[in-house]
Each structure stands twice: as structure tokens, then as C-alpha cells.
């Protein structure tokens, strides 16, 4: 079974609008971390936001927020006030365990295009 | 955040030759380094996990004799693609973790390998 599922291959959003990128995950480990990365055309992986499985509050980082619904095993990324520079691939990832000792499992990604 | 470098950023080599890619953590000691491969328009797939001073753990389907990984120090890991073939052409990305002190994985900028 896929550990991370991103069902939106591509998304379009109008500049200054908000957009939600979907991510569901599958694990039996009670301790895990969820990540979102942005990958522009240059290829670098840019860390956006992190949510630990025991975190009570949804994570927020500037214009990024993570809508963590543990019972549904979903970790959607919300980008508010979209900017043209937000156009990129976005990957959801999960690590089992709460330290950095284990690898990340990545979803297939969502290509976001911001329309002026 | 922490900085991870990769060298070279791009390399073109002839079929049958070997190429070495370096991954360095510049401002922290990386207890674990991960090597991922990303084919065009696809997600990142873990190739191997390496801990300083011990042999790398390879994922199923990744040939350890073809993709030699050395993690000789806490700041340097190398991936050598031996007897490269055109199908090895890909984007190789390393990440580094100081898992005792942080949940984060820090990604290098990636190396684009083209085998002709």
C-alpha cells in the first residue's frame, strides 16, 4: 500500500487566492512526522512545514498551514494569498518515528500553477 | 536552516564510465545521510541510507555494487555510479539528518546525471 497519496497531479489557483493541496497517509506507527516540500524547476527541495503525530495544533509557517486530520489520516497543505512564485511541484512526505533517523516516503506530487 | 551541498550539480558522462557525487553537510554533523533518485516528472525514491562509519542499507531493487555509497565522516557521503548506462540518467538528491538533535532532514540541491 502507498504510504503517501497525493491525488491531484495538477492544480491551478488565481493569484492572491488560497489553495489546498491534498495528502493522505498510511502508517501503523503511532509516532510519525508529516512534511511538505516545494520543488521548483531548479530541482532543490525546499522545506515548507512539519507536523508531528502528537502535535495538538495544526502547524503554520507564514502563508503555509497544514490541516492535520489524524482520524482521516490526512495532512493537507493550505497556501494562502498565492503568489506567482508559488508555482512549483509540491510533495507531501512522511517519516515513521519522530527523529530524523528514518527516511522519508514521498507522494507523487502536485504541480501547482498560479495564474496572474 | 542547515546547509547541505552536492557536487557536481550537473554531470555528463559516457556509458561505461563511473561518476562520483559528493554530499556534504556544511554546518552540522550528519549522523545519517539518505540518497534519493528522481526520474523526470516522478517522485523521489529512496536508494539507500547511510550512517557514518557503517555500511549503507540499500532499498530493494537498488544494486549495491553499482551504486557505491561511502559515509566516511560525519560531514561527507559519496555516491559512485559505476559503469553508468543511459538508464542511470536521473536527478540524484541527498539529504542529511542530525537525528539526535532535530527532526528535520536537510536536502542538497541535487545532481543531474546524464549518461550518453
Higher local confidence (pLDDT), A8 or B1: A8
Cα nearest neighbour of A107 on chain B: B43
**pLDDT averaged over chain B?**
92
Angle at B6 between CA B88 and CA B30, to 5 degrees: 110
Dihedral over Cα of B62, B65, B68, B71: its sign: positive
Nearest to B2 by CA among B111, B113, B99, B112: B99
Q: pLDDT category, B30, cuts 50, 70, 90?
A: confident
pLDDT at A99 over 80: no
Query: Which residues in chain A have their CB less than 8 angstroms from residue B42's CB?
Result: 108
Segment 41-70 of chain B within 8 Å of chain A by CB: 42-46, 49
Judged by a CB distance cut-off of 8 A, whether residue B91 touches chain A is: yes
Do the Cβ atoms of B93 and A103 come within 8 Å? no
Compare CB distances from B110 to A43, A95, A103 and report the shortest one's residue: A43
Q: pLDDT category, B1, cuts 50, 70, 90?
A: low
Nearest to B24 by CA among B85, B57, B73, B80: B73
For residues A94 and A106, give the distance between their C-alpha atoms in angstroms, rounded to a whole number.
Answer: 7
Judged by a CB distance cut-off of 8 A, whether residue B95 touches chain A is: yes
Compare CB distances from A103 to B49, B104, B109 and report the shortest one's residue: B49
pLDDT for position A93 = 96
pLDDT at B100 over 70: no
Do the Cβ atoms of A106 and B44 come within 8 Å? yes
Segment B32-52, tens digit of pLDDT: 999 999 998 899 999 999 988
Query: Which residues in chain A have their CB less than 8 angstroms from residue B31's CB?
Result: 101
pLDDT at A74 over 80: yes
Cα nearest neighbour of B91 on chain A: A43
Kindly report which listed range (A97-101, B57-61, B110-114) carries the lowest average pLDDT score. A97-101
Q: pLDDT category, B99, cuts 50, 70, 90?
A: low
Output the nine-digit C-alpha cell for B49.
541510507
Query: Which residues in chain A have their CB less than 8 angstroms from residue B112's CB?
Result: 43
Query: Which residues in chain B have their CB less than 8 angstroms from residue A50's CB?
Result: 103-104
pLDDT at A103 over 90: no
Segment A49-66, tens digit of pLDDT: 999 999 999 999 999 999
In the numeric block, the cell 509516532 is attached to A31
Average pLDDT over residues A102-113: 94
For residues B22 and A68, give the distance between their C-alpha atoms in angstroms, rounded to a whole number.
Answer: 36
pLDDT for position B51 = 87
- Cα dihedral value A101, A102, A103, A108, nearest 10: -130
For residues B91 and A48, give the distance between their C-alpha atoms in angstroms, rounded to a whole number.
Answer: 21
Output the nine-digit C-alpha cell for B15.
556509458
Nearest to B100 by CA among B53, B51, B61, B48: B51
For residue A29, give every residue at least 6 positions away whose Cβ sits within 8 Å of its Cβ, in sequence order, or none: A96, A97
Average pLDDT over residues A61-88: 97
Do the Cβ atoms of A101 and B99 come within 8 Å? yes
Judged by a CB distance cut-off of 8 A, whether residue A5 touches chain B is: no
Q: Is the distance from CB of B89 to CB of B40 less than 8 angstroms? A: no
Output the nine-digit C-alpha cell for B69.
555509497
How far off is chain A from B55, nearest CA to CA, in Å?
Answer: 15
Please give the DSSP secondary-structure letter assigned to residue A104.
P
Amino acid at each position: 500500500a502507498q504510504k503517501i497519496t497525493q491525488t491531484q497531479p495538477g492544480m491551478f489557483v488565481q493569484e492572491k487566492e488560497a489553495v489546498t493541496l491534498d495528502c493522505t497517509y498510511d502508517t501503523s506507527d503511532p509516532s510519525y512526522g508529516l512534511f511538505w516540500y516545494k520543488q521548483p524547476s531548479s530541482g532543490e527541495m525546499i522545506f515548507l512545514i512539519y507536523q508531528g503525530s502528537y502535535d495538538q495544533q495544526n502547524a503554520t509557517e507564514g502563508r503555509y498551514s497544514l490541516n492535520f486530520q489524524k482520524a482521516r489520516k490526512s495532512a493537507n497543505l493550505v497556501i494562502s494569498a498565492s503568489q506567482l512564485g508559488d508555482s512549483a511541484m509540491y510533495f507531501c512526505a512522511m517519516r515513521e518515528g519522530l527523529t530524523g533517523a528514518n527516511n522519508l516516503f514521498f507522494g507523487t506530487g502536485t504541480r501547482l500553477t498560479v495564474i496572474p | 536552516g542547515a546547509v547541505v551541498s552536492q557536487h557536481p550539480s550537473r554531470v555528463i558522462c559516457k556509458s561505461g564510465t563511473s561518476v562520483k557525487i559528493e554530499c556534504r553537510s556544511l554546518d552540522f554533523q550528519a549522523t545519517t545521510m539518505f540518497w534519493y533518485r528522481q526520474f523526470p516528472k516522478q517522485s523521489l525514491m529512496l536508494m539507500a541510507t547511510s550512517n557514518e562509519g557503517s555500511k549503507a542499507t540499500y532499498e530493494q531493487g537498488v544494486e549495491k555494487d553499482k551504486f557505491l555509497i561511502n559515509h566516511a565522516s560525519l560531514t561527507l557521503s559519496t555516491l559512485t555510479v559505476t559503469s553508468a548506462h543511459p538508464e542511470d540518467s536521473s536527478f540524484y538528491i541527498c539529504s542529511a539528518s542530525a537525528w539526535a538533535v532535530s527532526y528535520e532532514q536537510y536536502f542538497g540541491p541535487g545532481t543531474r546525471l546524464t549518461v550518453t
